[in-house]
Structure 1
Amino acid sequence: MGRIARGMVAAMLALAPPGAAAHPHVFIDTGLEVIFDADGRLSAVQVVWVYDEFYTMLALDDYGMDPEFTGTVTAHEREQLAAIYANWDPGYNGDLRPLLDGVEVPLGGPTRVVADVQDARLVIAHRRVFADPLRLEGRELVLRVYDPTYFIAYTIASDPVVSGRGDCAASVHGPDRQAAEERLQAALDALLASGADPWAVEAEFPAVGADFAEEVRLTCGGPS
């Protein structure tokens, strides 16, 4: 599986109205830390996902955890959650796309996965490692965070952290939301005009997630 529990997707869809209001279904506040090695090369990205309370409630119920809805989990349940969210579907990229000079750079799968529930919200932290650490001097790295299907809405909720170098600048940039909403509505209008059932739009929902992507832009000075 990826980052969404399969058993609750049907419940979310059943509660959602047809049309543009049906997306997104899940909301995740995201934190990013870029990690440099001793040679000043970008070696990994630490990612933190903080899920919304509704998803958290459905997820814990789906997993048979926290039956009293206290918003907390035991140490054993934290271990179980970490194992669940470390098990990604083949080909899933973690909804994180690093672009170096506009070219996507591959990342490894999740490592050091840690899970908890804080303030009734599921928190998943994991690390992604570059197979070949990156030299960034004179180049720009962009970390784009989005779900192509827009089932999930990601928000970069805190300033990115830079570890291992002191001469790098990282800034958060958001989409043109009005333009993104207009493109989404136009795509939905075209889909419905083609005769699609409004209640079946989910199966053919336009891949507009990139239009809503938030991103971190990272640049560095000379070698550390």
Structure 2
Amino acid sequence: MLLASVTVPANAHPHIFVDTGLEIIFDNQGKLTHVKVTWKYDDLYSLFLAEDYKLDPDHDGELTDLERDHLTGFDADWVEGYAGDLEVVLGGKVLTLSGPLEPTADMVDGRIISTHLREVSGTPAIEGDTVSLKAFDPSHYTAYDMTLPVKVSGRSDCTFQRVEPDIDGQLAQMQALLLTLDADADLEENDIPLIGGEFATDIRVTCPAL
């Protein structure tokens, strides 16, 4: 996702790139209970993490069991109010998710990979409905790319589709908004929206009534 050549707010340029995968998990009653999230960090950020945590001194791109244990949970200690860069919407309502559960971490071919579970509050029934899942940083400091597997577990009757963002269209809208402002205008005071969600792949899961 390349934004450097476009005149947009400075914080709209991503600094960390994360390949992302999702597992949408249903219980034996067909209710949505959890979403498992996989984050695979880019090479440069993985290198920074390895240096910070003193990992992989032999530079073979893999971790020992001790290093793996040391790294696990490094990205699961969230500050209050952080939504985990995941939005799950059902019937126009954003569902409440727990903080990260059962975190894991590893290094594969030099890239740090982590997983965690998010429990869905209320375990809603998805009966003839569509649930939308987007992974994004509202400020777009981190760019999440839905390049890893997306799957549904616990139900075999659900289907899902990927809706890719209209990046060119969203950038054009942002440019049009910015052109209406003075160069030193405060974006928040002028209600310029955060743009992360507009650049996110929308995973839509539809399940029939049981």
| Alignment TM-score > 0.5, same fold | yes
DSSP-derived class of the 2:20 partner: strand
Asked if the contact 2:95/2:121 (under 8 Å) is kept, the reply is: no
C-alpha change, 1:206 and 1:63, in structure 2 (3 Å) is: farther
Partner of residue 130, structure 1? 120
Matched, 1:215 2:202: yes
Query: Across the two proteins, how many residue pairs are aligned to each other?
Result: 200
**What SS class does the counterpart of residue 50 from structure 2 fall into?**
helix
CA distance in 2, matches of 1:148, 1:190: 22
Worse overlay, 205-214 or 22-31: 205-214
After the TM superposition, which residues 1-224 of structure 1 pair with which residues of structure 2 at under 5 Å, given as runs? 20=8, 23-186=13-176, 193-194=183-184, 207-223=194-210
Q: Are 1:57 and 1:69, in contact at CA under 8 Å, matched by a contact in 2?
A: no
1:182 to partner: Cα distance: 2.2
Determine the C-alpha separation between the residues in 1 that align with 2:183 and 2:61. Answer: 44
SS of the equivalent of 1:193 reads coil
Contact persistence 2:19–2:39 (CA under 8 A): yes
The one-letter code sitting in structure 2 at the alignment partner of 1:163 is S
- Name the SS for the 2:121 alignment partner: strand
Partners of 1:159 and 1:171 within 8 A in 2: no
Return closer, same or farther for 1:60/1:192 CA change in 2, 3 Å cut-off.
farther
Residue pair 1:159, 1:172 contacting (<8 A) in 2 also: no
Distance 1:66 1:129, change over 3 A: same
Deviation string for 1:141-196 (max 9, x for gaps)? 10111100101111111442111111101112111010122234455666771278
Give the corresponding residue for 2:189: none
The separation in 1 between residues aligned to 2:193 and 2:49, in whole angstroms, is 26
Q: What's the CA shift string for 1:112-141, capped at 9, x where partnerless?
A: 111001111110111111121111112111
- For 1:123, give the aligned amino acid: I
CA RMSD of aligned residues (A): 2.5
Q: Give the percent of matched residue pairs that are identical in Structure 1 and Structure 2.
A: 38
Q: Which residues of structure 2 form unaligned runs of 5+? A: 187-191
- What is the CA–CA distance in structure 2 between the aligned matches of 1:42 and 1:192, rounded to whole Å? 47
- Counterpart CA distance in 2 for 1:135 and 1:18 is 43
Q: Measure the CA separation in 2 of the matches of 1:120 and 1:102.
A: 40
Rate the CA distance shift 1:171–1:195 in 2: closer, same or farther, 3 A: closer
1:115, 1:96 → 2: CA distance? Answer: 19
Q: Please report how far the alpha carbon of residue 68 of structure 1 lies from its aligned counterpart in structure 2 after TM superposition.
A: 4.8
Contact kept? 1:24, 1:151, Cα under 8 Å? yes
**Equivalence for 1:199:** none
The amino acid across from 2:164 in the alignment is: G
Cα gap change, 1:179 to 1:39, in 2 (>3 Å): same
Amino acid corresponding to residue 211 of structure 1 in structure 2: E
Structure number with the higher helix fraction is: 1
